[in-house]
Amino acid sequence: MAQWHGISRRKSTGGRRVQARSKRSTEISSEKQFALIGEPKRKIYSTTGGNTLVRVLSDNRCSVNSKDGKTVNATMTNVIQNEANPNYIRRNILTKGAVVDTDKGQVRITSRPGHDGVINGVLL
């Protein structure tokens, strides 16, 4: 169900506030969408000013920077550690700072998949 994140019609005191404008389509959002490990899927959202925002809904590939400066693609299998929320580990939710297991080794995610639209990480 859609959620509206605009200015309320009520003040904190309970009085009415008369809006000088109508609702904007950029103030509408959906339920929280997490980036998961799975088949690659992205969604494009419209933001204020005609800009767009790309969100990763699911992906199984990430760009990995190694210690010698090389960047390679790796296939993710599961989440090993996530300090944001311990429940994200068993649900395989990708966030910034999560440690994932890949075919190249363990990788810490450095990008924000829900905001950047890509998954980048560094090899541990």
Domain ranges, ordered by start, for the chain: 33-123
Token readout for 5 is 């994140």
CATH architecture label of 33-123: Roll (3.10)
CA 12 to chain centre: 31
Which residues of the chain are modeled with pLDDT < 50? none
**φ, ψ of residue 102 in degrees (nearest 5):** -125, 175
The identity of residue 94, as a single letter, is L
The answer to whether 120 and 96 have CB atoms below 8 angstroms apart is no
Q: What is the pLDDT of residue 48?
A: 86
Q: Which residues pair with 93 in a beta bridge?
A: 36
What does the pLDDT look like over 97-114, one tens digit per residue?
A: 999 999 999 999 999 999
Residue closest to 114 by CA, chosen among 93, 100, 89 = 93
Residue 19's pLDDT is what?
A: 86
| pTM summary value | 0.82
